[in-house]
Amino acid sequence: MIKRILSTLFFVPLISHAGLQQIAGFECSEHMDSASAIQLQGLPDSNKPLNLANGLTLSYSQIMALAGDFYGILGQAISEGRTSEERQNYFINAYNSLAQNPKSVTEVPEILKVVEYEQNKIQEGKKNGIPAEEIFKSMSEQNNRQWNCITGGGCDSLWWLNQGRYLQLAKRGYDHFGDDAWLAYKAGHELALNEAIKAHFNGDIKTLEYAYTLNAYASHFLSDRFSSGHLRTPFVHLVNEVTPSTIGSVLVTFMHNEENHNGLHVHNLRGDHWIAYGDRRYFDSVNDQNTVILKEALQESANQIYSAFTTGQIPNDESVFNLIPVADETGKNRNQDITPLFYRDESNHLLLRRSNTSNLHDKEFTSNWWGWSTLIELSKERGLPTEVQEELVASNNGKEALRYGLITDKEVLKGIN
């Protein structure tokens, strides 16, 4: 990715194990930093903002930060396309929701004001030695309310009952996770390469600029592929196989947060080995090697656009793919890292859960578990923040959650009819 990396749907604390986290992929300021030094070869000024069809002028890093989390097609994940052509069609529709939509001309500056506030708070906190996780935690509720409001949702004290596009995109945020993130990236990257080849033959720099904007949008999903909480978490299976799906989405968060905070031993096909951390830990020194390889992958992706422009051919290499992290330990195969909270046993078509949810290193799994009971168990261990209570009410599961004792916040109770 997210998105709330993406929404309130994805916000659960790790009391005793980690700080508060949210889902969606890296935070906006993390995305922005990872692409801040990208060099766009072939343009008269590689630092000049890129022009979109609707009149917006944005930097490569701004397009990358906005992609997927704030702009996309509701209910249509790019990775859900059945063929390469269909995924490319889904991608261009998502891209155009930013680049051609007249509404985004007024929305984007407001969104970026909140992002700038986030960036300033991170810089201020770093100077004072405050962990980035704590800074993000302190801003989360207010930032999400503002982004929900800007993207057509509620703005008042019960804003979460009227979910704007920012929150709704999170519900099918498959494009931000694992192999689906790579499919979403690849769809956009291939389109960008084709436009760069057109620019080679027509000599039009504006076509090359368009190619770079497509690649910037695609690179959001490539960068999410470097977040540890997005490598092993079976997002699609939890949403599709747990009833109701809202509970599956909330459960995604518990695993996502564990793996973001604790990190995972990873490797890539080039032969690098390192520990990757996830959302809200991008700026931590323990994540430095992950950040270096992420930035290398993003630059190599942009370099391939320039190569297609100069040669008129699709680059015949897998240099970007060879850089993406792969978890050393998956499924029941684990030794150094925490045991996955959930994993899909493909051979037996079972969605398994760690038997002891409170023990991150329990080596036993069970198929005998249910969504509601697991959520109740996890909430007793770690608490259930207001944001998740809000999502349960907004998804029409409030009365049942109240019966199970999951709804306690007085303000949230106002939303239950």
State pLDDT tens for residues 98-120: 999 999 999 999 999 999 999 99
**pLDDT for residue 387:** 75
Q: 24 with 3: CB under 8 angstroms?
A: yes
Confidence grade of residue 179 (pLDDT, cut at 50, 70, 90): very high
SS3 content of the chain, % helix, strand, coil (to 5): 55, 5, 40
Specify the residue for token string 């890296």.
26
Choose the weakest-confidence range: 104-118, 120-134, 371-385, 387-401.
387-401
* Average pLDDT for 149-173: 89
* Average pLDDT for 184-211: 97
Catalogue the long-range contacts made by 37-46 (C-beta closer than 8 Å, 24 or more residues apart). Answer: 37/295, 37/299, 38/298, 38/299, 38/302, 39/299, 39/302, 40/212, 40/302, 40/306, 41/302, 41/303, 41/306, 42/205, 42/208, 42/306, 42/309, 42/310, 43/205, 43/208, 43/209, 43/212, 44/205
**pLDDT for residue 140:** 85
Confidence grade of residue 17 (pLDDT, cut at 50, 70, 90): very low
**pLDDT for residue 23:** 56
* Average pLDDT for 259-265: 95
Q: Name the H helices within 203-331.
A: 205-224, 235-241, 245-262, 288-311
* Average pLDDT for 109-135: 92
**pLDDT for residue 24:** 59
| DSSP codes joined into one string, 115-135 | HHHHHHHHHHHHHTT--HHHH
Can you give the pTM of this predicted structure? 0.91
Residue 316 has pLDDT above 60, yes or no: yes
Specify the residue for token string 């700026």.
283
Average pLDDT, the chain: 90
Q: What are 35-61's pLDDT values in tens digits?
A: 999 999 999 987 889 999 999 999 999
Give me the phi and psi of 343, to 5 degrees please. Answer: -155, 150
